[in-house]
Structures are given as structure tokens and as C-alpha cells.
Amino acid sequence: MIESSRRAFLGGLGGTALSVSLGTTLFGRTGFALPFAEEDLDFGELEPLAALIQETPPGKLQRVLIAKLKAGLDLRELVAATSLANARTFGGQDYTGYHCMMAMVPAFELSKRLPARLAPLPVLKVVYRTADHIQANGGRANESLHVLEGVGDGPQSLRAAFLARDLDGAERAFAAVCRKDPRAAYDDLQSILQENLDVHRVVLAWRAWETLPITGEQHAETLLRQSVRFCVDAEQERVRRGRPEPELRGLLPALLERHGLATKPQGSRKASDEELDELSLVVFGASKADAAAAVAEALASGMSHADVGEALALAANALLLNDPGRAQAQGNEKPVGSVHGASVGVHASDSARAWRNIAGVSNARNAPASLIAGAYHTAGQSHRVGKQAFPFARHLDGVREASADELLASTRAAITDGDQERAAALVFRYGSLDAPPRPLFDLLLEYAVSEDGALHAEKYYYTVCEEFASARPTFRWRHAVALARVTASEHGWPAPGLAEARAALGV
């Protein structure tokens, strides 16, 4: 999270009436009046840059943007414009589109960890990916989001419209609240977000919220509408396929009521390391319903939300460390044995972090509900992985390096060799020395920037940075070991457009 800016932003939201700068367009881009045409969203000062990103082929766009950066364009402005261009184009309903959206804030955060001359690279990487996909889908001619006219306090709530699978009604119900109070609208959004399982559903919702301090709160409706559309789409698809209602639709409110969690003050009890680890093992190994019940009981016992959230993160981390790797290749970029991209552990880790972050900005009901939903989401997957976590004893036996510098040099070699076992063992040993984490994370950052990671490299790196920073010393190196393993797995598939960006920047 971008802590300082997020705190300032959240402090300014409560109850504030917002003037939503959507703007209206009376003429189509063809230059003549379209009597029933939907009106284009207009992003004010960010509009020229957003339009440039949507309208320019990515190869040419790289050169134009780098010239603008050299002339003083701020990376924050580029991140804001790209996020809005993405939302306007795809509306949260395109797989690659929302992956680009979810990568934008992580890329911006990665840029802050780099020397100034390299700082644009992670952002340019995701901008290129975004622009390339926009162009492949028709550019501005195929925009998904338009101005919502005539929004007012209607008779239908967001949840009622969602259950009716009424996309237009859901968007209007959400917009009616969002234009008055984005924070209240975000809490309202949780009523349709929490009940179903999809990593993209929760991570997109978090990343959209996390983007608001960058774009400005006047763009809350545009960014958060993506999640409304995603959720209604999923509910329509569920019914089309004849699938039953999700179990969590009934289970979550029942657990909240049973333990009085919607009104109970947030707990502050600090769990012991043993208790926290035990809860993480329950979430890792239990059924989804049992894990949700265990987390509800932990919350009812007064365990702090931070500790419950850490247990979720450790359970997700175990899914990655125990993963034997893909049994079958998924395209050239995800071979047999790989664990990067949309693997069970990467997805579980990204979603657990998103549930934790949402809990941290939610109201009294939604904070515990998010953690219970996160437990349900994480659990029930241990059958997909092995019984033993990386690194195995035989992996550690092969580590002969003794100093931190030797371990870092060998970690780099293991990554470039694609050797997950050795990379995990070396970082495990590095952590056991109580060596400073920054040199290791700087090393892994190089590859989070250079590699594509099957759309997940920068996102998972940032997830681990957040988890490492908030974890107890007893557990934090587990996250670094997992990141080293994923980094070795994803090496060898460089991010498109990055070599050209390096050349244009002269780095």
C-alpha cells in the first residue's frame, strides 16, 4: 500500500460530496452529432494523456512517452492516465485488461525502489502491455465505460440489482452512492464482492481503490465501476451455466451473526507465534467452510485483525512453497514444473493480501467479513500441492556458500539458470544469517522488472514486499523464499517492449 498518501486520501473522503468530473461529449469522435450515442468519459487534465495511450501504437507510444518523461512528465501522472484509459476501454471485463490494471500500482511502487535513471522501466512495461492490448481490441472505438446519465437515488440497492443480474441497475445504484461518498460506495461494493471466489474479483477491487490517491478521488466512480461490472458478469455467468448459489452467500452472514462480529469492537489480542502458525495451518489444510469458521472464532476470541490476516498470508505462502510445479505446460511461457503466473500459490498470496488490505479500510461489518472471506478463499486447495515445503533438506545440503555476498551471487546464478530448488535454498540460508533484506530484494527486483511473469511478475513482487514488511520476524523469510522460487521460475521470458524502453532511455 502507499501508506502516507492512502491515509491522507481516506481522511478526506468521509461524507464529502464529490463533483464528479466526467464531462460530456455532444459530438462523436467523427465530428457530427450522434442522437443516441453514449457520451464519452472525459478525464479533465488527464484526458490528453489517456487518449494518447489509447490511440497510439505501443512501439511509437514508448518513444513519445519517454520524450515526455525527459521533458518533465511525472510517473504518477502516467500511472493515473494509463489506469483511467484501461478502465474506460475494458471496464473490468477483459482478462488481460484487468491484469494490466492490477499491475499498475505495483509497477509504480517498484519504480520508487529503483535509481532515478531506471525508475520509469516498470511503469513503461505495464503501459506498453496496456496500450498493446487496447490497440488489439480496437482502440477508442470499443470503449466499455461511458457517462452514466440520470443517476439518482433509485429504489434498487446495489445488492438487489446484483442479485437480479441487472448490470445497468447495479452501475446506477453504485454511482448514486459513489458521487456522494466513495468510501460508503466501497463498503457497499463489498456486499457483492465477498461471496464468490475469484482472485481477480478481489485484487481488482483492491487495486482500483489503491489507485484513487494517484488519480484523484474525482475518478472513483470510473475506477470502481470495474468491480461492479466484474461481479455482475460473474453472477450472470453462474446462472447461465446452471451453477448453484455460492456457499459463502449464506455462510458468511451466518458466521457474522453467530459471533456478533458485525457489531463487536475489533480485537486487539496479539496471538503467540505458535497460535498464529496453527491458525495458518488450519486455513491451509481445512475445507473452505471449516477455515472460515476457524477465522470467525479467532476474531470472536479477540485476536487482532493483523494477526488473523498474517495467518491467511502464511497459508497462501504455504501453497506456493509446497507446490510441486505444473504437471503440464500452459503455453511456452509456463512450462512443466513452473510456479509463476496464475499458479495456486501466487494467486492465493495476491488474493490474501487484497483481502487483508480491504479489511483495513472497511467498516465494522466488512472488516471481519473480508478476513473470513479471505480464509474461505485460501482454504480447500492443499490437495493441489505437496506435503513438503521448499526448500527440502537435500536442497539445503547443497548450499556451501557461507557469507551474505556469496549467497546473493549464487542466488543470481540460480535465477538465471531457472533453478527454483537452489534459489529457494540459498535465500532460506541468507535469511538464517539475519542478513539485511534490502540487497536481496534489490536483486529480485531486477527480474520483477525485466521478466513478464505471465502477467504477474510485478504484482507478486509487490505482494511479497508488503507481506515481508508486515510479517513477524519468525515468519517473514518464508515470503522471500517463495519470491526467489517464483523469480527463478519466471526467468527467461522477458517483458515485451522493455528492451526498446531501455534503449530509448539509454540504460
Q: What is the 3-state secondary structure (H, E, C) of 161-202?
A: HHHCCCHHHHHHHHHHHHCCCHHHHHHHHHHHHCCCCCHHHH
25 vs 479: which has the higher pLDDT: 479
Q: Residue type at 426?
A: L
Alpha helices in 268-365 (DSSP H): 273-285, 288-300, 305-321, 344-361
Percentages helix, strand, coil for the chain (3-state, rounded to 5) are: 65, 0, 35
Residue 463 and residue 352: Cα distance in Å, rounded? 9
Q: CA angle, 204 as apex, 282 and 442 as ends, to 5°?
A: 80
At residue 146, the 3 state secondary structure works out as: strand
Q: Read off the DSSP letter of residue 141.
A: G
Arithmetic mean of pLDDT, 269-274: 98
pLDDT of 196 above 90: no
pLDDT digits (tens, 9 = 90+) for 367-407: 999 999 999 999 999 999 999 999 999 999 999 999 999 99
Q: Which grid cell is 314? A: 502464511
Which run of H or of E encompasses 21? Answer: none
Residue 33: per-residue pLDDT: 40
Of the CA atoms within 13 Å of residue 89, those in its CB half-sphere come to: 31
Q: Report, as an integer, the average pLDDT of 102-120.
A: 98
Residue that wins the pLDDT comparison between 405 and 37: 405
First to last CA, the chain: 28
Residue 71 to residues 45, 66, 474, Cα–Cα distance (Å): 17, 8, 47
Angle of the 273-285 helix axis to the 366-378 helix axis, nearest 10: 60
Radius of gyration of the chain (CA): 23
| Predicted pLDDT of residue 26 | 32
Distance (Å, whole) CA 382 – CA 448: 27
Per-residue pLDDT, 59:
86
Of the pLDDT bands very low, low, confident and very high (cuts 50, 70, 90), residue 340 is very high
Instruction: Report residue 435 as a C-alpha cell.
Output: 542478513
Residue 325 in contact with residue 344, Cβ under 8 Å? no
Residue length, the chain?
Answer: 507
Model pLDDT, residue 6 = 40
Residue 383, Cβ neighbours under 10 Å: how many? 6
The residue behind cell 542478513 is 435
Per-residue confidence (pLDDT) for residue 156, from 0 to 100: 74
Contact present, 142 and 85 (Cβ < 8 Å): no
**Which residues lie below 8 Å from residue 261, measured CB to CB, with a gap of 6+?**
255, 296, 299, 300, 365, 368, 369, 372
Residue 23 has pLDDT above 90, yes or no: no
Res. 1: pLDDT tops 60 = no
C-alpha dist (Å) from residue 506 to 109, 122, 194, 239, 497? 22, 15, 46, 53, 14
Phi, psi of 451 (to 5 degrees): -100, 150
Q: pTM for the whole thing?
A: 0.91
φ and ψ of 463, to 5 deg? -55, -45
Alpha helices (H) in 322-343, listed in sequence order:
none
Confidence at residue 197, expressed as pLDDT on a 0 to 100 scale: 84
How much is the pLDDT for 25?
36
Tell me the average pLDDT of the chain.
92
Percent over 70 (pLDDT), the chain: 92
Please give the Cα distance from 415 to 204 (Å, whole number). 29
Q: Is the pLDDT of residue 32 over 80?
A: no
Q: What pLDDT score does 155 carry?
A: 62
Phi, psi of 415 (to 5 degrees): -65, -50
